Amino acid sequence: MGRVLVLGGARSGKSGHSEELIAVMANSPSEVRYIATSPPRVNDPEWEERIAVHRARRAPQWHTVETADVAMELRRERAVPTLVDDLGTWLTAQIDARQAWDGGPAALDDVLDDLVSAVCAYEGPLVIVTPEVGMGIVPPTRSGRMFRDLIGVLNSRLAEKCEKVVVVIAGIPLPLK
């Protein structure tokens, strides 16, 4: 199956569907690498609860890597069945690291290019989870609009490179490609 991009809104079921996909794509549960992109958030119990739900749902044999450097991790082991969850938290971490919330999207060109390049070079089964935020209202803040635009551009670029693209709506996976 190669590379699969799984899009969806908040709480749509995209992570659960992606976990099922990678389990099928792997020869054995112990082969799966789960790249978790969300950094810890101090004094945010609601966020920690969300992370705990994701951790509890993963197969205990999966190898979890918590990192915001997804491209580097993909290049480190290029053939292991891998799930990346998710690009929304990854993009937020990249914007934070570059202090680019007010500076504009150009500060992220290199990191988006690097991620797309790493995905293209990946040789094993790969499932990438990403939010679809472009079908809603226009965010009222500049930073919100920048995030929405950047994730939309990134999703389009990755969809072009992935063999399969699925959108999950209300828990129902719908194949797009």
Which residues are known to be catalytic? 54
The one-letter amino acid code at 167 reads V
173, containing H or E segment: strand 172-175
Is 8 annotated to bind a ligand? Reply is yes
Q: Is 58 marked as a binding-site residue?
A: yes
Any binding-site annotation on 14? yes
66 is in an annotated binding site: yes
Stated length of the chain: 177
Q: Which two tokens stand for residue 13?
A: 């079921």
Query: 12 labelled as ligand-binding?
Result: yes
The answer to the question of whether 136 is labelled as a binding residue is no
The identity of residue 16, as a single letter, is G
* 104 annotated among ligand-binding-site residues: no
The answer to whether 82 is a known ligand-binding residue is: no
- Integer Cα distance of 147 and 131 in angstroms: 11
Report which of 145, 23, 20, 159 is spatially closest to residue 95, judged by C-alpha positions: 145
11 a known binding residue? yes
154 CB-contact burial (10 Å; exposed 0-12 / middle 13-18 / buried 19+): buried
For residue 104, give Cα distances in angstroms to 59, 72, 86: 39, 24, 22
Report the C-alpha gap between 88 and 129 in whole angstroms: 9
Residue numbering of the annotated binding site for GTP: 8-15, 36-38, 55-58, 66, 85
Residue numbering of the annotated binding site: 8-15, 36-38, 55-58, 66, 85
